[in-house]
């Protein structure tokens, strides 16, 4: 994960704008010393553009392959939950995992799918609460 500061936010926005306006080959300067002509694949440009868009909004970024396996500690950090809570979820069968010796490993893609499922449920509950508030004339 990459933490961002104010200077990086500004640089990210400038970089995002440049990447969106360019196609094909571009000159890259590494730390003000080295020059190189680089042709980036379209997929890499999309990833970089998306990452720069998030960074320009002050958001942290993580780039990992979806088939990467995470330890329970890293998986808990990804979901922003405690490790014991994650283990209960895993043992309850809500997220698939495999054991390597005594250790559990969880696919990032499975964590992402679980997170999306939880976010969808949360949104539904919020919609229901807002509808109830409307019915009760609470002004929401």
Q: What is the pLDDT of residue 76?
A: 96
- pLDDT, tens digit, 9 for 90 and up, residues 22-66: 766 566 666 666 666 677 777 888 888 898 898 899 887 888 888
Per-residue confidence (pLDDT) for residue 43, from 0 to 100: 81
- Scored b (16 or more CB within 10 A) or e, 68-104 reads eebebebbbebbeeeeeebeebbeeeebebeeeeeeb
pLDDT at 97 over 90: yes
Q: What is the pLDDT of residue 138?
A: 80
| pLDDT top residue among 4 and 101 | 101
- pLDDT per residue over 111-126, tens digit each? 999 999 999 999 999 9
76 shares a domain with 111: yes
How many domains does one find in the chain?
A: 2
**Same domain, yes or no, for 77 and 122?**
yes
In a domain, residue 19? The reply is yes
**What's the pLDDT score for residue 9?**
86
Q: Is residue 39 part of a domain?
A: yes
Q: Are 47 and 76 within one domain?
A: no
pLDDT digits (tens, 9 = 90+) for 3-21: 677 888 888 888 888 887 7
Flag whether 12 is in a domain.
yes
pLDDT of residue 8: 82
- Asked, for residue 121, whether it belongs to a domain, the answer is yes
Which of 82, 117, 114, 119 has its CA nearest to residue 95?
Answer: 114
Confidence check: pLDDT of 110 > 90: yes
The answer to whether 27 and 35 are in contact (CB under 8 A) is: yes
Q: Which domain holds residue 104?
A: 69-135
Mean pLDDT of 94-102: 96
């Amino acid at each position: 994960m990459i933490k961002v500061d104010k200077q990086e936010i500004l640089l990210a926005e400038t970089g995002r704008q440049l990447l969106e306006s360019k196609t094909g080959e571009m000159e890259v300067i590494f730390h003000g010393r080295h020059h190189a002509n680089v042709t980036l694949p379209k997929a890499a440009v999309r990833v970089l553009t998306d990452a720069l868009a998030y960074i320009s909004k002050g958001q942290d970024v993580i780039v990992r392959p979806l088939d990467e396996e995470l330890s329970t500690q890293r998986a808990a950090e990804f979901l922003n939950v405690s490790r014991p809570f994650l283990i209960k979820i895993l043992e309850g069968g809500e997220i698939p995992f495999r054991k390597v010796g005594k250790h559990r490993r969880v696919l990032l893609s499975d964590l992402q799918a679980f997170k999306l499922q939880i976010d969808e449920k949360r949104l539904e509950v919020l919609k229901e609460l807002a509808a109830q508030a409307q019915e009760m004339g609470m002004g929401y």
